[in-house]
Structure 1
Amino acid sequence: MTERTGRCACGAIRFRITAPLRGVGVCHCTDCQKASGGAPNYVALAPKDAFEVTQGEPKVYISNSDSGNEVRRTFCPECGTPLWGMPAMVPLVTVKLGALDDNSDLVPNLHLYVESAAPWHLMHDGIPAFPKMPPLQPQGE
């Protein structure tokens, strides 16, 4: 599936992804746990240049990652649905799987920040797990 669409729970914010996803990750960092209410966040990695907001204006919360770089986390100002993140220095948007209109074909292919995982977080057998952020490869590799 090349084009994907998504939205918040109330429909005020809508978005589109027009290129294949680069992967699906499960983030166990404490910021993601706070955004989800305790669970890890399941995110699809979408190329920034293929991501666009098609309706509404999300609210953005800016914080710093453990590397010191800025991370922008977006959510709907009306219903509060967490939508996506935009880490600095990375050409990807981390789209929450729950914000996608159809995520039935997506499965995780890595876990990150597992050192912050609660003991009850689900870990998928057979996929790589990293204590913090995995090493990033340049696009095209």
Structure 2
Amino acid sequence: MPVPFQGGCRCGAVRYEVTAEPIAVVDCHCRDCQYSSGTGFATIVLVPRPAFRQLSGTTQGHTVTADSGNKVTRHFCPTCGTPLFGENETKPGVLAIKAASLDDPSALKVMAAIFTKSAQPWSHLDPALPAFVGMPPAPPPKG
């Protein structure tokens, strides 16, 4: 993924920039990602928190308790509702950006499927990807 890369919401009120390569890109099938994406999974781009800079707008956050017991806050545009990024209380140095909010998500390469125990039977799991029933013990290797 070429850096820096940018993204934002559908209405343009919120814009951000990331100045580092992704740590990992995963398809997350947990129920929370299903709710926040409105479909069977969310493609998540994990980036170092210090490399993220919000350029404009403000977001609204909604905090939930994940299956792990950790608090996760998902941020979205309060005007158009576009899901943008999330934060996990146990990983303060990492931000989870929703891939669809990138200006050009076509360069992403998904590295793994996670929380497949919650995958819907109608949701496609790419057999070429490593799959984890929950959170992997460490981020999948870059590839």
The within-5 A match list for 1:69-80 is 69-80=70-81
| 1:15 corresponds to | 16
Structure 2 unaligned blocks of 5 or more? none
Q: Deviations over 1:43-102 (max 9, x none)?
A: 111111101111011000011122222111000000000011111222211111110001
**1:122 and 1:107 mapped to 2: Cα distance?**
16
> Higher mean Cα deviation, 123-132 or 4-13?
123-132
Q: TM-score normalized by structure 1?
A: 0.93
Aligned length: 137
Structure 1 unaligned blocks of 5 or more? none
Name the % identity.
Answer: 39
Q: Report SS of the residue matched to 2:80.
A: coil
| 2:58 corresponds to | 57
| 1:101 corresponds to | 103
Q: TM-score normalized by structure 2?
A: 0.91
Q: RMSD of aligned C-alpha atoms?
A: 1.1
**2:70 and 2:41 mapped to 1: Cα distance?**
21
